[in-house]
Chain A
Amino acid sequence: MEILKIEFLKLRKKTRIWLGPILVFWLIMIAYPLTVELLQDRLQIGFFSVLWIAILISMMLATEDIFTEDYNDGSLEQTIIQESSFQVGIGLKVFVYWFLIGIPVSLLSFIFSFGTTQNFELSLPIFPLSLISSYIFLNIFVLGNSLSLNKGSVLGALVTMPIALPVLIVLGKGMTALQFDINFESFILLLLGSLSIIIVLIPIVVSYIIKAHLE
C-alpha cells in the first residue's frame, strides 16, 4: 500500500507525464473530424479505428520515461536491493499510470464516441473496451521501455509495437461484433483474459529485464 501511495504521489507531481498523453489523445480525436471535411455525416466510419490508434499512441507516450528517472537517480537499484517483491512494485507503478492516464482517456473515449455516433448503446461498451485495452497497451509499452531503458523510447516502441497490433485487430473485430450485435461479450472476455495474463507476466519479465540492465 505504501508503494502505491508513493508511486501515486510521484506521478501526480509530474503533471507533464500524466497530462501530456491525455491532451495528445484529446487533440487526435479533435483533429479527426477536421480531416474529413466533406464527409461529416460519415464520421462514424473511421471513428473507432482512430480511437484505438489514439489510445495506443497516448499509452505509448505515457510510458515514455516510466523508468528513466528512477534509473538515472539510482532508485531502481535501491529498490532491487531493498525490496523482496520488485515485480509487485512494477505492477503497482503500471497500475498508477493506468489510474491517472488510462481511466481519463477511457472516459474521454466514451464522450467522443457518444459525441460522434450519437448512439448511447454503441458508445457505452467503448468505456470498458478502452479501460481494458489501455491497460494492455500500457503493460506492453512498459515492457518496451524497460528493454530500451537508456536507449530512448523510440526503440522500445519499435520492438513492442508488433506485440500490440493483435490487440488492435481484436478491438476492430469487437467493434464489428458490437455494430452487428453478434456475441460482443466474447471479445470483452478475450481481452480480459489476455489482460489477466499480461498483468502477471509483464511485471515479472520487466523486473528481470531491469535487473539485466543493472547487472
Chain B
Amino acid sequence: MIKKFIHQFASPKTFLLQVERSYSFIFFTSLCIYVFSIVWGLLFTPEDFVQGNSYRIMYLHVPASFLSQSLYIAMAVSSVTYLIWRVKLAAYLVIAIAPIGAMTTFIALISGSIWGIPTWGTWWQWDARITSTLILFIMYLGLISLHNSFSNYEKADKLLSWLVIVGAVNIPIIKKSVDWWSTLHQSASITLTEKPSIDPVMLYPLIGAIIGFFGLIVCLILMSSKNQIFIREKNKSWVKDYV
C-alpha cells in the first residue's frame, strides 16, 4: 500500500504539477510570515537584559541552524526511500537539497560567528556545537562533490544515498553536543518536551521566523527539484510538451 502510494504521488510528472499548483501559495505565505516575524523581532521586541540588541540576530541564526540539521534528515529519509522503493524523485530531492543544506549551514555558521563577537567576545571557538556544525557543512560539500564526480546519474544517486544514510550518524551528535560536552554554546531554548526558556515576547516572532524561513527554503528545494527533473528527464516526451 505504501509502495503504491509513493509511486502514484512521487512520479516526476505529478510532482511537477503539484509544484506548479502550490508554489506561489507557499512562497507568498512564507515570505509574508518571515517578513512580518523579522520586523516584529527586530523592531517591536524589547532589548535583552544581558545581550542588548545583539540577540536579534537569532531571527536568522536559529531558523538557519534548525534547517541545516532538518534538511540533512530530509535527505536521509529521501535516500532510504530511493534505495528501498526505487523512487526516482527521492534521488532528485537528495541532490536538490544538498546545496541548499550547505547554504543554510553556512548562514548558521556566519550568523553564529557574528553573534559570538558581542556575546562571547570571540567570533570562533573550537566548541562542540560549532565544530560539529562545521563538520556538517564539510559533509554537505563532500556529498555535492561525490555526486558531481560521476557522469552516470543513477550510480551517483545510489552512492550519494548510501553516504547520506551513513553520515546521518552526525546529526544526533550535533543535536546533543551541547548536552554531552561542556560548551560555550547554550543549550536548546525550545524543546518539544519542556517549556521554552525564552520569553514569549521574543519566542513568538522567533517561531514565525522559523516557519517563514522553512517555507522559503521549501520553495527553493521545489525549484531545485524542478531543475533536477528537467535535467534528468529531458528526453522524455512529457517534459518536451511541458517546456
Scan residues 41-98 of chain A and give those whose CB is less than 8 A from a CB of chain B: none
Contacts of B169 in A (CB 8 A): 163, 166
User: How distant is the Cα of A212 from the Cα of B152 in the complex, in angstroms?
Assistant: 11
Chain A interface: which of B41-49, B142-150, B231-239?
B142-150
Contacts of A147 in B (CB 8 A): 146, 159, 162-163
Q: Judge if B50 is at the interface, Cβ distance under 8 Å.
A: no
User: How distant is the Cα of A99 from the Cα of B80 in the complex, in angstroms?
Assistant: 34
Contacts of B131 in A (CB 8 A): 169
Q: Of A173, A212, A215, which is in contact with the most chain B CB atoms at under 10 Å from its CB? A: A212
CB closest residue in chain A, given B128: A169
Q: Judge if B7 is at the interface, Cβ distance under 8 Å.
A: no
Q: State whether B163 touches A159 (Cβ < 8 A).
A: yes
Contacts of B167 in A (CB 8 A): 162-163
Q: State whether A209 touches B159 (Cβ < 8 A).
A: yes
A159 and B155 in contact (CB under 8 A), knowing A143-B166, A169-B128, A209-B162? no
Q: State whether A205 touches B162 (Cβ < 8 A).
A: yes
Q: State whether A212 touches B135 (Cβ < 8 A).
A: no
Q: State whether A158 touches B142 (Cβ < 8 A).
A: yes
Interface residue SS majority, chain A: helix
Q: Judge if A213 is at the interface, Cβ distance under 8 Å.
A: yes
A165 and B135 in contact (CB under 8 A), knowing A147-B163, A159-B163, A215-B155? yes
Over the window 164-200 of chain A, the binary record of Cβ atoms lying under 8 Å from chain B Cβ atoms (1 yes, 0 no) is: 0110010001000000000000000000000000000
Contacts of A106 in B (CB 8 A): none
Q: State whether B170 touches A159 (Cβ < 8 A).
A: no
Number of interface residues, chain A, beta carbon within 8 A: 22
User: How distant is the Cα of A169 from the Cα of B149 in the complex, in angstroms?
Assistant: 30
Q: State whether B166 touches A163 (Cβ < 8 A).
A: yes
Q: Judge if B139 is at the interface, Cβ distance under 8 Å.
A: yes
The answer, among A161, A169, A208, A215, for a CB contact under 8 Å with B162, is: A208
CB of A71, distance to nearest CB on chain B (Å): 14
User: How distant is the Cα of A155 from the Cα of B132 in the complex, in angstroms?
Assistant: 21
Scan residues 173-194 of chain B and give those whose CB is less than 8 A from a CB of chain A: 173, 181
A212 and B145 in contact (CB under 8 A), knowing A166-B173, A205-B166? no
Q: Judge if A5 is at the interface, Cβ distance under 8 Å.
A: no
A155 and B162 in contact (CB under 8 A), knowing A163-B169, A215-B155? no
Contacts of A159 in B (CB 8 A): 139, 142-143, 145-146, 163
Contacts of B142 in A (CB 8 A): 158-162
Q: Judge if A151 is at the interface, Cβ distance under 8 Å.
A: yes
User: How distant is the Cα of A159 from the Cα of B144 in the complex, in angstroms?
Assistant: 9
Contacts of B13 in A (CB 8 A): none
Contacts of A208 in B (CB 8 A): 158, 162
Q: Judge if A153 is at the interface, Cβ distance under 8 Å.
A: no
Over the window 117-153 of chain A, the binary record of Cβ atoms lying under 8 Å from chain B Cβ atoms (1 yes, 0 no) is: 0000000000000000000000000010001100100
User: How distant is the Cα of A158 from the Cα of B131 in the complex, in angstroms?
Assistant: 17
CB closest residue in chain A, given B165: A205
Q: Judge if B198 is at the interface, Cβ distance under 8 Å.
A: no
User: How distant is the Cα of A213 from the Cα of B165 in the complex, in angstroms?
Assistant: 18
| Sample of 5 further A-B pairs with CB below 8 A, known A155-B145, A162-B170 | A158-B142, A160-B142, A162-B139, A201-B166, A205-B166
List the 5 closest pairs (A to B, CB-CB), nearest first.
A159-B142, A212-B158, A162-B139, A162-B135, A159-B146
Residues on A facing B (Cβ under 8 Å): 143, 147-148, 151, 155, 158-163, 165-166, 169, 173, 201, 205, 208-209, 212-213, 215
Residues on B facing A (Cβ under 8 Å): 128, 131-132, 135-136, 138-139, 142-143, 145-146, 149-150, 155, 158-159, 162-163, 165-167, 169-170, 173, 181
